[in-house]
Amino acid sequence: MTDRRRGNAGAHRYDASRPGRGVANNSDRLPIGRRVAYWRGRRRMSQQMFADRLGKSKSWVDKVERGVRSLDRVSVLQEIAAVLQIDTAVLFGRDAQPVEVTERAEGVQRIRVALSRYDIPLGRPAGRRPVLPVDRMLREVTHAWTTFQHARYQQVIDLLPDLLTDAQRTQAGDPAAGRVPLVEAYRITASLLVKVGDAELARLAADRAMIAATGDRTLVAAAAVQLGEVLRAAGQARVAKSALLAAAYRIAPPVIEHGTPAELALCGTLLVQAALAAAQYGDEPGAVELIDDAAGMADRVGEGHDHHRTGFGPTAVELARAAVSLELGDARDAISRHEKAVRRGGWRWLPTGHRAAHLVDAAQAYLQAGDPVNAGRVLVDVERTAPAEIRHRPDAREVLAQVARDPYAPEPVIHLAVTLGVG
């Protein structure tokens, strides 16, 4: 097999799911000159005005902002900070953490506590919270899924601790009917935790979903979607592919043409996840074959559906093809597929979070292909349509930081990077 990981502008792809890769160090931070330029703009000063106040030449300021001239004297940094009316530490990127970062960390800790409770098996009383009937619990889960798919991640983080507790109590009161909302609550939790970068805790949620689903092939297949996401995020691509294919074969109808749309959507989603896992460890033929199989199912499902919260359809498969190409190191093919996919009618039918996640991948592809301008444009689109996708996803924030460090990064990207403290 041709190794397509070579070439493509010699770029190195950041992959948060692989240990030891993509970890920023101090030398990777947004250059001080870019921060000076940003804050000068915020203070509505031209380079000449700024230079006059510092007692320097306009050429000196221009060279500093472009990174041609370094700032290595503390006294000069203090003078610049004073003129810009900021703390000197801000020039080094040591801004206070954005509120959403702190809120996310606190919320994830509450989810951790909820997942660590064993009140039901230990027979402890339910406490003051009422036990919700199954129909009410299903509505609560539906609301949480909708919130997640609209990329309102902080709201989901706030919802999940009580949702998990309530779902466990409902299932204890009605083991048969209550199993569905419990599995769905765990699925949402696993997906959310992958999104915010806590693969270890996500693994616990996915395991709980699989255990709760045992005995129901549809629920097992649905839970396996999140299991695949978790395993890929943890760098266990081969294990992920094996588990995903086992679940896909279990849910696949004997004759594809006779399968229901819901069955095909689950099976196709599992094949897409398996293709991404195959691409992650370099199995290009396997990834392509699996995507092709999923495409045949997608054609039968059609656009505009969301069976089992998969968003599966022809456009989703085309986006997955772009993701596979990027995973294999072919950024230009990923870009080509991205630009065609977003012009499809089915693009607008996909959930906001699905589209935003794809756009972050597209930004990475543009960056890898040596096009920081389009990478920045795509990230600004993400910020406009789904701000939480960048604000709450560590891997998305790293892509933003990479784009912002490029000398040709657009000004809105610099603004966004500084605002979020990701430089």
Q: If you write DSSP's letter for every residue of 330-396 in order, what string do you get?
A: -HHHHHHHHHHHTTSGGGGGS-HHHHHHHHHHHHHHHHHTT-HHHHHHHHHHHHHH-HHHHHS-HHH
Task: Check residue 84 and report its DSSP letter.
Answer: H
pLDDT tens column, 269-307? 999 999 999 999 999 999 999 999 999 999 999 999 999
Percent of the chain predicted with pLDDT > 90? 66
Task: State the chain's mean pLDDT as an integer.
Answer: 87
- Cα–Cα distance for residue pair 71/114, rounded to 1 Å: 48
Average pLDDT, integer, range 392-420: 83
Residue range 31-92, CATH number: 1.10.260.40
Residues in CB range of 357: below 8 A, 6 or more apart: 389
pLDDT tens column, 333-381? 999 999 999 999 999 999 999 999 999 999 999 999 999 999 999 999 9
pLDDT tens column, 214-230? 999 999 999 999 999 99
Sorted by where each begins, the domain ranges of the chain are: 1-28+351-423, 31-92, 97-214, 253-350
- Cα–Cα distance for residue pair 163/400, rounded to 1 Å: 32
**For residue 171, which amino acid is it?**
Q
Please give the residue that has the higher pLDDT: either 126 or 397.
397
Average pLDDT, integer, range 162-166: 95
pLDDT tens column, 45-74? 899 999 999 999 999 999 988 888 887 676
**What is the token pair recorded at 146?**
């909708």
- Cα–Cα distance for residue pair 276/251, rounded to 1 Å: 19
What is the three-class DSSP state of 56?
coil
- Cα–Cα distance for residue pair 138/132, rounded to 1 Å: 10
